[in-house]
């Protein structure tokens, strides 16, 4: 991986960063991906743009930076946990990062006897329909669970290597969802914005966490929080 290197205009003190067009080239700021992967991601992005007017899949203000903001950001979980093959993605929405992870897994080396799969948990039926359309058109190894997270996990029995979530809920709430899966050996990786420190402090009131912070390669003020242990603190009523 390499860190972003923005081009600048050298025309004096008032020079501003040069804005480059939003395109798959932005992915190189995070990781090298194959042409085949880029082609599948293009199918995904084209579908997102087609569905966006009716479904409001992403914030309208970010439509001009789908590649540089959403797709590039969503590459990071897979490359931070490259051995994970079985994922659960909470609140998948438009598919960031879950669908991106599934597309990347199409070219990842398999583990013996372990088929790659990303379970996309999304209770909104229209968004679930969009996710299924992307899965069909890209052939990526993913399955949509169109129910509330709590309802899906209540009957969960499959092995999981990693759990992801982006722009969904507070860290404390995410820990509550992930707790039973992490207890069984999964690693949680959550995207958090500039208030990540406050969220860690808040979550620590209810949970004991083994946590590693990784600076985002897309937004230097953001972090990816990698959690390998979640234990309820005594007296909190959790767990």
What pLDDT does residue 13 have?
41
What CATH number should be reported for the domain holding residue 117?
A: 3.40.50.150
Residue 37 within any structural domain of the chain: yes
> What is the biggest distance separating any 2 CA atoms in the chain, rounded to whole angstroms?
62
Residue 154 within any structural domain of the chain: yes
Tally the C-alpha atoms within 13 A of residue 101's C-alpha that lie toward its C-beta: 35
Spans of the chain below 70 pLDDT:
1-20, 110-112, 235-239
Rounded CA-CA distance 84/187 in Å is 9
Angle at 144 between CA 215 and CA 159, to 5 degrees: 70
Is 117 labeled as ligand-binding?
A: no
Domain count, the chain: 1
Residue 205 within any structural domain of the chain: yes
Is 150 labeled as ligand-binding?
A: yes
Look up the domain containing 118 and give its range. 24-232
Residue 79 within any structural domain of the chain: yes
Residue 18 within any structural domain of the chain: no
Residue 12 within any structural domain of the chain: no
What pLDDT does residue 187 have?
99
What pLDDT does residue 112 have?
67
Residue 224 within any structural domain of the chain: yes
Residue 13 within any structural domain of the chain: no
What pLDDT does residue 113 have?
76
| Packing angle, helices 125-138 and 35-55, rounded to 10 | 150
Is 202 labeled as ligand-binding?
A: no
């Amino acid at each position: 991986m390499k860190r972003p290197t923005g081009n600048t205009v050298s025309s004096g003190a008032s020079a501003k960063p040069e804005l480059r067009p939003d395109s798959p080239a932005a992915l190189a700021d995070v990781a090298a991906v194959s042409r085949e992967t880029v082609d599948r991601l293009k199918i995904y992005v084209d579908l997102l743009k087609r569905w966006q007017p009716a479904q409001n899949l992403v914030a309208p203000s970010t439509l001009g930076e789908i590649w540089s903001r959403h797709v590039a950001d969503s590459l990071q979980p897979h490359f931070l946990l490259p051995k994970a093959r079985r994922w659960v993605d909470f609140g998948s929405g438009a598919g960031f990062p879950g669908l991106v992870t599934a597309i990347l897994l199409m070219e990842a080396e398999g583990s013996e006897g372990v088929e790659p799969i990303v379970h996309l948990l999304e209770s909104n039926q229209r968004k679930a329909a969009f996710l299924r359309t992307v899965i069909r058109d890209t052939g990526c190894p993913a399955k949509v669970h169109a129910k509330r997270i709590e309802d899906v996990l209540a009957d969960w029995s499959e092995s999981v290597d990693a759990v992801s979530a982006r722009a969904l809920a507070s860290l404390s709430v995410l820990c509550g969802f992930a707790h039973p899966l992490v207890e069984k050996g999964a690693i949680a990786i959550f995207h958090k914005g500039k208030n990540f420190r406050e969220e860690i402090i808040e979550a620590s009131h209810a949970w004991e966490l083994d946590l590693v912070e990784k600076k985002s390669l897309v937004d230097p003020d953001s972090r990816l929080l990698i959690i390998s242990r979640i234990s309820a603190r005594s007296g909190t009523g959790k767990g």
